Amino acid sequence: MNQENHCLFCRVVTGDEQAYVVYNDMRAIAFLDRYPIVPGHTLVVTREHYRDFLTTPLDDLAHLSNITKKVATAVQAAMKADGVRIFTNVGKSAGQVIFHVHIHVIPAWESEPAFNSFRKRMEITHDDAVNISGAIKEEILKLG
């Protein structure tokens, strides 16, 4: 299915949409969320367009899972977080906004409020994105 003109994440995959990429291979790409819940909020996305987690073939989910583990490990280290949240939303009622399968990796600190204490999400600044994505990429390189 060619979704490139309509899907934001397909445009990130093709390079037609700017993103702060921290990981990239033939099947997946990971980049900072443009409107992060907290600094370091990263998305792991299949290069192939699938609507959501439930419609994604198992072999692509397995690869997505492997990359998510690597990215989550790097995000936690780079952000000096105590933990990390890993999740996906399926369907509008569950909070899915972009209908291209993606996994959220969100660092967490013991000093931060509970996850249900949402703040207004603001666009990340270029300088913050460059610094954070650089730190995450450095940690990914250490993982091999």
Would 2 be classed as within a structural domain?
A: no
pLDDT at 121 over 90: no
Residue at token pair 């996305």: 45
Would 3 be classed as within a structural domain?
A: no
What pLDDT, on the 0 to 100 scale, is given for residue 112? 74
Would 29 be classed as within a structural domain?
A: yes
- DSSP codes of every residue in 114-129: PTTS-----PPPHHHH
Average pLDDT of span 114-130: 79
The model's pTM is: 0.91
Average pLDDT of span 21-48: 97
Would 25 be classed as within a structural domain?
A: yes
> CB 141: neighbour CB atoms within 10 A?
9
Q: How many domains does the chain have?
A: 1
Provide the CATH number for the domain around residue 133: 3.30.428.10
Would 1 be classed as within a structural domain?
A: no
Q: Are 21 and 110 in contact (CB under 8 A)?
A: no
